[in-house]
Amino acid sequence: MKSFFKRYTPLQIAIHIYGWSALVRLIIDLINHNLTANPIQALEQRTGRHAITLLVLALACTPLNNLFGWRELLKRRRALGLYAFLYATIHVIVFVDLDYGLAWSLILQTIIQKPYIVVGVLSFLMLIPIAFTSFDIWKKRLGKNWKRLHQLVYLIAPLVALHYAWGKKGDFFRLQGEIIRPLIYSVIIIIFLIMRLPQVRKALASVRDRILVPFRRREPQSKPNTP
């Protein structure tokens, strides 16, 4: 047990517990017929929400490291991103298989008719290369292009928030309909994107340095020369 905790950090353990427990809960609810009167829609919605939550958590790692200097967060982006991709994939499988029974012409027709689904499809298509190249071997192979490719996540996150908000058919301006949750996700994503701007990063770094000053160990002062 001791070596387990030496090998994995609490944050790592928390991420894997969230990643798998959400799936286990979904499966248990499915087996127990505990997924509302419309189980397929419930599955679609729950997997979609887990996907966006994990994506936002992955997006949070860099700005939170800039703010608090918690470098471990940078190492956890990959796991969070891959879990987001896992839930997004299940979400898409539920849509094409359980919801539309793989009737491709009907699926295509629905996609064309509902712009929020087009946005979902675009986000998913962009997530695929990011997920597959998230491993170190691809980082080495792609060199500078790896970073460029992975910066797509800053486009994907707002698109997914749009997919969420648009699908809810609420009115953002009149604050009507089921818009609170998509609104919260959108605001969080906007804040994290703003925190990445170079000027904001600089300002945050200086705030961090000021906050951390009292916690930094003072350099031991050299003893005064005794005569």
Q: Which residues bind ligand HEM (CB under 6 A)?
A: 41, 44-45, 48-49, 51-52, 55, 84, 88, 91-92, 95, 117, 120-121, 123-124, 127, 160, 163-164, 167
**Measured from the CB atom, is 63 or 120 closer to ligand HEM?**
120
For the CB of residue 190, give the shortest distance to ligand HEM in the complex, in Å: 16
For ligand HEM, the closer CB: 160 or 204:
160
Across the strands, what pairs with 176? 171
Q: Report in angstroms how near the CB of residue 172 gets to ligand HEM at its nearest.
A: 15
Beta-carbon contacts of 91 under 8 Å, excluding residues fewer than 6 positions away, are: 44, 47, 48, 51
Q: Which residues pair with 171 in a beta bridge?
A: 176
Measured from the CB of residue 201, what is the shortest distance to ligand HEM in angstroms? 25
Considering beta carbons, is residue 123 or 186 the nearer one to ligand HEM?
123
Helix axes 39-68, 72-93, angle to 10 degrees: 160
Cβ 125 to ligand HEM shortest distance, Å: 7
Place of tokens 């248990």: 28
**Is 146 exposed, middle or buried (CB count within 10 Å of its CB: 0-12, 13-18, 19+)?**
middle
Smaller CB distance to ligand HEM: residue 58 or 204? 58
CB of 10 to ligand HEM, least distance (A): 26
In the complex with ligand HEM, the residue whose CB is nearer, 179 or 204, is 179
Q: In the complex, what is the shortest distance from the CB of residue 149 to ligand HEM, in angstroms, rounded to a whole number?
A: 17
Rounded Cα distance between 128 and 33, Å, is 31
State in Å, rounded, how far the first CA of the chain is from the last one. Answer: 56
Please give the helix or strand (H or E) that residue 110 lies within, else none.
helix 104-113
Report the alpha-carbon distance of residue 196 to residue 202 in Å, rounded.
Answer: 10
Q: Can you list the positions of beta strands (E) in the chain?
A: none
Nearer to ligand HEM, 73 or 162 (CB): 162
CB 198 within 8 A of CB 62: no
